[in-house]
């Protein structure tokens, strides 16, 4: 039907397919290769629709339709003479298991059909899925959310979010961001800069000096109470004293300790988001080695679990070759079963919202994105030594160049000054294009100055113009670099980052129009 409709080029309504359309989501999307076929015909991906642009070839669409029709007719003729095989015996259903640290067991998905392969590794993988799906329900506890709110300066953050949104809309009237988007940014900056701290090795509890990781301690009953099944031993050679570092996995305890590594950061931050009413998903990943060779990445929320592996990599075939723990068909069926069980009590509106979100993500996953220059920056959390040891620094800085603060400094400023007075001229207008990048809590503040006026603008690589500086004799373009985390904080605010292989892109430009004074 989509083919026939689109062959009528004069009807715009037939040139787009809404992803949330029940016919599309239930009859077309589950068919392997169906969406790829639509792209082959000429459809393009929009935010919530697949669109057949007016520039696309209707003849190409007709050819694909005829090819599919011929293949369908051939298969129908073959099936008429084929013998129908007996129904195979379904495999045994998987045993249920209780989630770690939880008193109740998560329901096991309905048994997979006979066509879904079963592997011995499926059982531990299922238990991991169940444990994480149960774990995210902790974030929905009203008492725990209230404890989290007591830690958050939420009124201050909301005020800052409103101001940030106002600045964004002043800079770009077409801005579609919401106050909640800005609140997430403010929460993240506060969380990284003031609330939580990164831990490589704890300082010695006696002398405060450096320690070295040296094996582990058995967890105490109190450690286990807060889901710390692993306790690291950080040894001070000066004092010959061991300092215990329990790896807590309960967000309530993390509100107290306020320190950790990746798992603790994600765990605690997810709770803070939910306490503010922000939808958030807890990400679990399975990787090969410390080089972050991705295999499985799953996003868990209170209502849904989604395989989001493809969002974290552009090398889909390479990732797929490492996904050997379970069969893909088994994983798909199991996730569908877990979601069906969890969503039984949800209303129709919420179910539709979750379906819409899932379909948009699925369409995103179909076509691997090509990363732009500077997007393959590697991990930015943790010390440089820790990231190098894990092989997660991404592209080497020798492959690109940028300006940053002096190493070890907390503040940096660079400016460009234009003085028109000596030649008897004054400024009529000014335009600036600048590109900057920030990581963690790093910040770059761009501004244009005259004797009477200051105008701020974003370092987004776009050309920004201002006529408010008209009439002045002097113009200063200035960038202030602040913020960042840990030993490499000076690297967390960067100007003009550019690959050595991408020298044609204009990343800094100042255009000044002058007139006689």
CATH code for the domain in which residue 46 is found? 1.20.58.2190
CATH code for the domain in which residue 406 is found? 2.60.120.1020
Per-residue tokens: 17: 């397919």
User: Are 406 and 360 found together in one domain?
Assistant: no
User: Are 346 and 428 found together in one domain?
Assistant: no
Alpha-carbon gap, residue 258 to 190, rounded angstroms: 13
pLDDT-derived band at 72, boundaries 50, 70, 90: low
Q: What pLDDT, in 10s, does the model give residues 384-405? A: 544 544 445 554 444 568 899 9
Q: Does pLDDT of 99 surpass 50?
A: no
pLDDT-derived band at 250, boundaries 50, 70, 90: very high
User: Are 404 and 258 found together in one domain?
Assistant: no
- With a CB cutoff of 8 Å and minimum separation 6, the contacts of 475 are 417, 418, 420, 427, 430, 448, 449, 450, 469, 512
User: Are 324 and 426 found together in one domain?
Assistant: no
User: Are 355 and 467 found together in one domain?
Assistant: no
* 88 inside domain: no
CATH code for the domain in which residue 244 is found? 3.10.620.30
| Whether the Cβ atoms of residue 219 and residue 242 lie closer than 8 Å to each other | no
- Whose CA is closest to 61, among 5, 11, 7, 16? 7
Strand-strand pairing, 305-307 and 197-198: unpaired
* 295 inside domain: yes
* 110 inside domain: no
HSE-up of residue 15 (Cα within 13 Å, Cβ side): 16
* 82 inside domain: no
User: Are 342 and 267 found together in one domain?
Assistant: yes
Domain termination residue (choose one: 350, 366, 382): 366
Helix (H, G, I), strand (E, B) or coil at 44: strand
* 7 inside domain: no
Q: What's the longest Cα–Cα distance across the chain?
A: 95
Q: What pLDDT, in 10s, does the model give residues 43-63? A: 766 555 677 776 666 666 666
Q: What is the pTM of this model?
A: 0.56
pLDDT-derived band at 416, boundaries 50, 70, 90: very high
Alpha-carbon gap, residue 64 to 38, rounded angstroms: 9
Arithmetic mean of pLDDT, 53-74: 66
User: Are 335 and 437 found together in one domain?
Assistant: no
Please state, as a whole number, how many other Cβ atoms lie within 10 Å of the Cβ of residue 62: 14
Strand-strand pairing, 443-449 and 293-300: unpaired
- Whose CA is closest to 128, among 248, 250, 317, 305? 305
Alpha-carbon gap, residue 42 to 7, rounded angstroms: 12
Alpha-carbon gap, residue 502 to 395, rounded angstroms: 14
| Burial of 323: CB neighbours in 10 Å, binned 0-12, 13-18, 19+ | middle
Which value, to the nearest 10 degrees, does the dihedral of the CA atoms of residues 112, 114, 118, 122 take?
A: 0
Arithmetic mean of pLDDT, 101-114: 40
User: Are 359 and 441 found together in one domain?
Assistant: no
Q: What pLDDT, in 10s, does the model give residues 257-279? A: 999 988 899 999 999 999 999 99
Residue 20, domain extent: 12-56
Number of domains present in the structure of the chain: 3
Alpha-carbon gap, residue 80 to 82, rounded angstroms: 6
Alpha-carbon gap, residue 287 to 298, rounded angstroms: 12
Q: What pLDDT, in 10s, does the model give residues 226-249? A: 999 889 999 998 999 999 999 999
* 407 inside domain: yes
What pLDDT is attached to residue 97? 33
User: Are 439 and 501 found together in one domain?
Assistant: yes
* 70 inside domain: no
User: Are 322 and 199 found together in one domain?
Assistant: yes
Q: What pLDDT, in 10s, does the model give residues 196-224? A: 998 888 889 889 888 888 888 999 999 99
Which helix (DSSP H) or strand (DSSP E) does residue 402 occupy? strand 400-403
User: Are 286 and 163 found together in one domain?
Assistant: yes
User: Are 326 and 229 found together in one domain?
Assistant: yes
Give the rounded percent of residues in the chain with a pLDDT score beyond 90: 34
What pLDDT is attached to residue 219? 92
* 300 inside domain: yes
């Amino acid at each position: 039907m989509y083919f026939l409709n689109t062959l009528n080029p004069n009807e715009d309504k037939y040139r787009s397919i809404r992803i949330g359309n029940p016919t599309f989501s239930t009859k077309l999307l589950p068919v392997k290769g169906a969406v790829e076929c639509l792209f082959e015909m000429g459809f393009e991906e929009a935010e919530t629709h697949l669109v057949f642009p007016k520039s696309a070839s209707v003849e190409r669409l007709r050819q694909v339709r005829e090819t599919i029709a011929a293949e369908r007719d051939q298969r129908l003729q073959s099936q008429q003479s084929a013998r129908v095989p007996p129904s195979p015996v379904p495999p045994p259903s998987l045993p249920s298991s209780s989630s770690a640290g939880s008193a109740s067991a998560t329901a096991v998905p309905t048994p997979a059909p006979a066509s879904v392969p079963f592997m011995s590794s499926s059982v531990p993988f299922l238990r991991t899925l169940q444990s994480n799906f149960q774990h995210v329900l902790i974030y929905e506890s009203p008492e725990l959310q209230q404890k989290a709110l007591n830690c958050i300066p939420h009124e201050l953050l909301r005020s800052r979010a409103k101001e940030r949104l106002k600045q964004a809309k002043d800079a770009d009237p077409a801005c579609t961001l919401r106050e909640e988007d800005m609140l997430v940014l403010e929460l993240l900056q506060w969380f990284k800069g003031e609330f939580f701290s990164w831990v490589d090795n704890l300082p010695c509890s006696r002398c405060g000096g450096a320690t070295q990781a040296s094996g582990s301690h058995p967890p105490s009953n109190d450690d286990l109470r807060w889901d710390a099944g692993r306790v690291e031993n950080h040894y001070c050679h000066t004092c010959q004293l061991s300092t215990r570092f329990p790896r807590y996995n309960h967000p309530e305890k993390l509100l107290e300790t306020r320190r950790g590594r990746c798992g603790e950061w994600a765990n605690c931050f997810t709770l803070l988001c939910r306490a503010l009413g922000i939808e958030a998903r807890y990400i679990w990943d399975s990787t090969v080695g410390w080089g972050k060779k991705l295999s499985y990445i799953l996003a868990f929320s209170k209502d849904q679990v989604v395989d989001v592996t493809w969002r974290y990599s552009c090398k889909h075939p390479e990732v797929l070759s490492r996904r050997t723990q379970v069969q893909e068909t088994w994983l798909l069926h199991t996730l569908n079963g877990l979601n069906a069980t969890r969503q039984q009590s949800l209303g129709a509106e919420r179910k539709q919202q979750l379906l819409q979100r899932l379909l948009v993500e699925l369409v995103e996953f179909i076509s691997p994105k090509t990363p732009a220059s500077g997007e393959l920056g590697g991990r930015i959390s943790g010390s440089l030594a820790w990231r190098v040891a894990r092989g997660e620094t991404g592209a080497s800085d020798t492959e690109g160049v940028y300006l940053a603060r002096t190493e070890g400094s907390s503040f940096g400023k660079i400016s460009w000054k234009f003085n028109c007075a000596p030649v008897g001229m004054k400024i009529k207008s000014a335009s600036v294009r600048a590109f900057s990048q920030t990581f963690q809590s790093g910040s770059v503040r761009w501004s244009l100055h005259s004797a009477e006026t200051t105008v701020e603008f974003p370092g987004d690589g776009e050309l920004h113009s201002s006529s408010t500086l008209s009439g002045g004799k002097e113009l200063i373009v200035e960038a202030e670099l602040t913020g960042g985390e840990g030993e490499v904080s000076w690297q967390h605010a960067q100007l003009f980052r550019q690959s050595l292989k991408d020298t044609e892109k204009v990343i800094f430009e100042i255009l000044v129009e002058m007139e006689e004074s």
